[in-house]
Amino acid sequence: MILVTGGAGFIGSNFILDWFSQSNEPVINLDKLTYAGNLQNLAITAGDERHVFVKGDIGDSALVTKLLAEHRPRAIINFAAESHVDRSILGPEAFIQTNIVGTFRLLEAAHAYWRTLNEAEKKDFRFLHVSTDEVYGSLTEHEPAFTEMHRYQPSSPYSASKASSDHLVNAYHRTFGLPTLITNCSNNYGPYQFPEKLIPLMIVNALAGRSLPIYGDGRQVRDWLYVADHCSALRRVLKAGEAGETYNIGGWNEKPNIEIVHTVCGLLREMTGGPATGDYLDLITHVRDRPGHDTRYAIDARKIERELDWRPGETFETGIRKTVRWYLDNQDWVASIQTGAYRDWIEKNYIQQRQ
């Protein structure tokens, strides 16, 4: 059995679905169900005895300790995090509490549990911490991509909180011997992504005839990783990764945001026939750039390829086509999460910044 934290979120739920497609090993899913956690993502597991859902916070030490003692998992995969840069700028405290304090308390419980295992179980146990390339900061146009040895230079409260959690995980390995693994991934996209992130926001807004807000000139470059590829990489790291190591996971798809938006609009035009009048591209609206906006992220994923024999299976062209198709085919899922709170957030963060 494994314990997955944050398993009702975008990447976590995709990981659980992917896990069950590859394994019959049960999963304990601990999730606080904040705005981005959605059990509808896991509706297909209803009645599946392999999936044990527990509503709770990784910062609840008593609950985590109880779950570890009762279920005795062989691994913990920590997805639980506040993850949106814009929200961290408007309200950093939640990011400090979840990403730093929560990770610390989870590590404390994991360490105490690990110490109760016999020697064989201790050797096999893993604490896999899922992190981000944003901890490395920003690259200029021609700088080489981030390797695992790149210096941490976080720019936002979000990336600073994730950098802090990475340091804690490393410290628990070096000081206490806890068998940890860290992965730093690039920008994920795919099914079940909450539509505050770039790609689903563009799809949802375009279909509704609303503006497509782009920060600044839209030339910020990101590496794009299809979420199913991320899940396969995590399974590989969990199986074969060396304790104490960090593995960068990327898609080898560096693209500027404005190109992503143009691609999404083109696919929507192809798949829907386009809006009644005009073109989806006409909806693009440039808004004031966000503070401290990183210019470029790029992942050098050669270590995981060399040491663990993993490469992404999707190109950006195949992954983005699957993603747009999924959102078109799952309009009810989108509608179900667009509550008043979601609409208020979009209004506050984008519309009021329109240039």
| Annotated catalytic residue, options 113, 136, 158, 297 | 158
Helix or strand holding residue 120 (H, E):
helix 119-124
* CA 156 to the chain's CA centroid: 16
Task: Concatenate the DSSP letters of all residues of 167-184 into one string.
Answer: HHHHHHHHHH---EEEEE
| Annotated catalytic residue, options 31, 57, 82, 133 | 133
E strand residue ranges, the chain: 2-5, 27-31, 51-55, 75-78, 126-132, 180-185, 187-189, 212-215, 221-226, 246-249, 254-256, 284-287
158 in active site: yes
CB atoms within 10 A of CB 206: 25
| Annotated catalytic residue, options 57, 86, 134, 229 | 134
Task: Concatenate the DSSP letters of all residues of 279-330 into one string.
Answer: -GGGGEEEEPPPTT--SB--B--HHHHHHH----S--HHHHHHHHHHHHHHT
Sign of CA dihedral 326, 332, 333, 337: positive
Sign of CA dihedral 319, 157, 153, 243: negative
Q: Are strands 187-189 and 180-185 parallel, antiparallel or unpaired?
A: unpaired
State both tokens at 215.
């920060």
Q: Give yes or no for a contact between 104 and 64, defined as CB atoms under 8 angstroms apart.
A: no
Q: Are strands 27-31 and 2-5 parallel, antiparallel or unpaired?
A: parallel
In 3D, which of 79, 84, 98, 58 has the Cα closest to residue 158?
84
Cβ-count burial 84-94 (b if 16+ within 10 Å, e if not): bbbbbbeebee
Rg of the chain in Å (alpha carbons): 20
Cite the active site residues.
133-134, 158
